[in-house]
Structure formats: C-alpha cells, structure tokens
Amino acid sequence: MKKIYIINLLVVLVGIGLLVSASSDMSTYGTFDIASQSGKRMKIAGELMKDKEVSYDPEADANVFSFFMTDANGNNSKVMVNKPKPQDFERSEQVVVTGNMKQGVFVADELLMKCPSKYKDEEINLRNQG
C-alpha cells in the first residue's frame, strides 16, 4: 500500500474516534420530571426562582451553593451546584444546569447563566426614540 492511503486511513480513524468521544459528552435537554425518572445526566434550562433563597456559605464550603429553579414545564426543584457561586448570579435571566437528579435534588456540575444585557436599557431608549 502507498503511504498516502495509510495516512488517509489513520486520519479517518482519528476522526471517527473524536466523534465517538465527543458524542459521549453530549447531554440532552430535559425537565426535572424526566431527570428524576431516567436518572441520566442531562441539561435543564429554566429560570431562577428569585423569591426563594440562594444558599452559599464560602466559609463552610466555597465550592457548593444551592438555589431553586423552575424548568420549562413550570416544575420547581432545588439545585445544588458543585462550583463556587458566580458573581451577579441573582441577576441572571435564565439558567442552564447539567447534572443528575439525586434524592429529589438536582446535583449539577456545570452551570450557564444568561444575564441581562448591559445594553438593554440603551436599546429600549433607541427604539422609543425611533
């Protein structure tokens, strides 16, 4: 066999290996009900319940905080995140957590926040003027 065929074969095999490893890390979006029934790792998008307490005690454990959130179906659950609390967390508009449901609490190891844009007020003013 020619060297070029061997190199192409190796490139294809490496590509397949990368796709397989990347697909094992993908999580599906769901709700708290689906997470509690399946027990699988998944992403849940929802809103922070601002009327409930965000619990964070950096002196006891700086890498854990908890809050309550509402998913897309309107179900509420306590979420415990195994990371430090991000700055301005309470101002977030939407939250996406990735993890598993354990004993009625969603335990997340990843957290994404959609915070209000600092340009939002400026955009509203421009629209009202136009």
Cβ(106)–Cβ(79) below 8 Å = yes
pLDDT digits (tens, 9 = 90+) for 22-42: 766 566 788 888 888 888 888
Residue 12 lies in a domain: no
**Domain count along the chain:** 1
d(C-alpha 109, C-alpha 82), whole Å: 5
Cβ(90)–Cβ(50) below 8 Å = yes
Residue 33 lies in a domain: yes
Residue 17 lies in a domain: no
Residue 9 lies in a domain: no
Q: Is pLDDT at 127 greater than 80 in this prediction?
A: no
Residue 60 lies in a domain: yes
Q: Is pLDDT at 68 greater than 70 in this prediction?
A: yes
Q: Is pLDDT at 119 greater than 70 in this prediction?
A: no
Give the domain range for residue 84. 27-116
pLDDT for the residue numbered 117 = 64
pLDDT for the residue numbered 12 = 92
Instruction: Look up the CATH number of the domain holding residue 48.
Output: 2.40.50.140
Residue 127 lies in a domain: no
Q: What is the reported pTM?
A: 0.68
Residue 18 lies in a domain: no
pLDDT for the residue numbered 67 = 92
Residue 82 lies in a domain: yes
